[in-house]
Structure 1
Amino acid sequence: MKNGKTITIEDVMTKSVISVDASMTINETAKMMEDAKVGAVIIMENNVPIGIVTDKDFAVKVAAHAYEISSPIKQIMSSPLLSINSDESVRNAADLMFERRVRKLPVLNDDKVVGIITATDIVNLLAVSVEEDIRDMYFHSVAKIYTNYSPYN
């Protein structure tokens, strides 16, 4: 395995990603996610990724706003699509997820969806990392989180 600082997103991302056309309904998309046992789908328009819908979107947006399940999925997607490139480090992905408060990050190369990295993927990486890498990732995260609370900043 690579050093914890050099592990790329491509090394840990899920390569099979479900995408749906923006015109699909909320109900059709939910059924597709359930059948595929995934927590997110990429929303496409004219073969271009334009947004993402997660299981949280169904729980919060559909229920809170009482959207009809026959409404287009585009209505509840998060957009613009926040993404990352597969050759970037896992640390960069973790930083972006932390800053933007997201748990699922599509991976795009040349505007093509090639995978998805999730907070779970990053936690699973910790499970197979050597102690030095775990310590480094932990202190990097803790230092970042507590920077906002430091009286010395």
Structure 2
Amino acid sequence: MKVRDVMTSNIIAANSNTSIAEVAKKMRDLNIGAVPICDENNYPIGIVTDRDIVIRGVVDGLTSSDDIGEIMSKQVIYVSPDMHVHEAARLMGEKQIRRLPVIENGRIIGMVSIGDLAVQNIYENDAGHALSEISTPSRPMM
């Protein structure tokens, strides 16, 4: 099974000048945890998660009117729609991330999450293994 078979294709994106508050409201209203940040050509230049808003925004003293570009992750790890879901799950586990933008011809066409993989019964082991790797702390807790 390919990523395109399980990805969410109805996604929203923001640009780097969008306010933190506006992105947070989109996350709340759509019940999502990540928003890709794209340039004017819909090319992904970053991604922001709800955790980024808290850790890089609130904790670092930014205000809700500051640009989301100030807190986005600039290294975008992504997959192609033709990648096998086993490989996507492996990548999630290896990189310890729960969501991956799906890029085709340089443009974002969807998102795939660990939840998308988990609902496919035949990939339950892959998704479980990836989630286990994602949830394992990379450094000792204090």
Range into which the TM-score falls when normalised by the shorter chain: 0.7 to 0.9
Which residue of the other structure, out of 8, 12, 15, is the alignment partner of 1:14?
Answer: 8
Cα deviations by residue, 1:85-135 (Å, 9 ceiling, x for unpaired):
000001111111111111010000011111101011111113xx3xxx656
Match of 1:49 in 2: 44
Residues 1:74 and 2:69 are matched in the alignment: yes
TM-score (norm 1): 0.77
Q: SS of the counterpart of 1:22?
A: coil
C-alpha separation between the residues in 1 aligned to 2:127 and 2:24?
Answer: 35
Match of 2:120 in 1: 125
Q: SS of the counterpart of 1:114?
A: strand
Residues 1:87 and 2:82 are matched in the alignment: yes
Structure 1 residues 73, 14: CA separation in 2 closer, same or farther (over 3 Å shift)? same
How far apart are 1:138 and its partner, in Å? 8.0
What percent of counterpart residues are identical? 32
Within-5 A mapping of 1:17-36? 17-36=11-30
C-alpha separation between the residues in 2 aligned to 1:97 and 1:60?
Answer: 21
TM-score (norm 2): 0.82
Match of 2:139 in 1: none
Within-5 A mapping of 1:55-66? 55-66=50-61
Match of 1:3 in 2: none
- Quote the RMSD (CA, aligned, Å): 2.1
Cα deviations by residue, 1:47-67 (Å, 9 ceiling, x for unpaired):
221011111212322232121
How far apart are 1:38 and its partner, in Å? 1.7
Question: What 5-or-longer segments of structure 2 have no aligned partner?
Answer: 134-142
Match of 1:116 in 2: 111
Q: SS of the counterpart of 1:116?
A: strand
Moved over 2 A (4+): none
Q: Which has the larger radius of gyration?
A: 1
Aligned residues: 130
